[in-house]
Structure 1
């Protein structure tokens, strides 16, 4: 499975859009960059359309668990490494300009973006 099949992308997006108020979904890592190996996981950044930065770890975990539980069935058959941000968290992630954020922005594949209604 060199490239992530469209069927899997669509299944992930369907589950997420049914259960989460999405702003953006980005595939990054080996599947986005075209070099997965047998035991590669799917790396996703899910940005919710929430307009706040969680004040506590518990608040942040609630957001993560809400997104994670939406794709629970898929995660049983395919390993998924998940990063969950609210819109302001994502904006800070981009503004920080870390090597990681630059790589995600340059090489990541946007699977969904609210303003574009883009679906993979």
Structure 2
């Protein structure tokens, strides 16, 4: 996952990457994908195109990664759907800008 985050950071101004779903909940199995929400000021304008771009990047690292792009504002709950709020509440932050 570190390689995927590094690759995204080369192309986007990433604010946070949050692991959610079975891996975050500790119930992953061999068939589980790796669900990650990616928050950036670069996202939120053309979600379908942004998702396609992230899927192209993930193919370089691991096709089990399932990235979903969201605006940085969505991380803070600004006009976010309950799904996004739940990701932020229950997920595990694996990258946050400004943290080492």
TM-score by length of 2: 0.77
> In the TM superposition, what whole-angstrom CA distance separates every residue of 1:17-51 from its partner, at most 9, and x where no partner exists?
1222111110001111111011000001011123x
What is the alpha-carbon distance in structure 2 between the residues aligned to residue 26 and residue 10 of structure 1? 12
Correspondence for 2:69: 84
Count how many residue pairs are aligned between Structure 1 and Structure 2: 98
Correspondence for 2:31: 39
How far off its partner does 1:105 sit?
A: 2.6
Conserved? CA contact 2:55–2:66, under 8 Å: no
Matches within 5 A, 1:50-65: 50=42, 53-54=44-45, 59-65=46-52
What is the alpha-carbon distance in structure 1 between the residues aligned to residue 58 and residue 34 of structure 2? 12
Structure 2: gaps spanning 5 or more residues:
none
Structure 1: gaps spanning 5 or more residues:
1-8
Tell me which protein shows more helix as a share of its residues: 1
How far off its partner does 1:62 sit?
A: 2.5
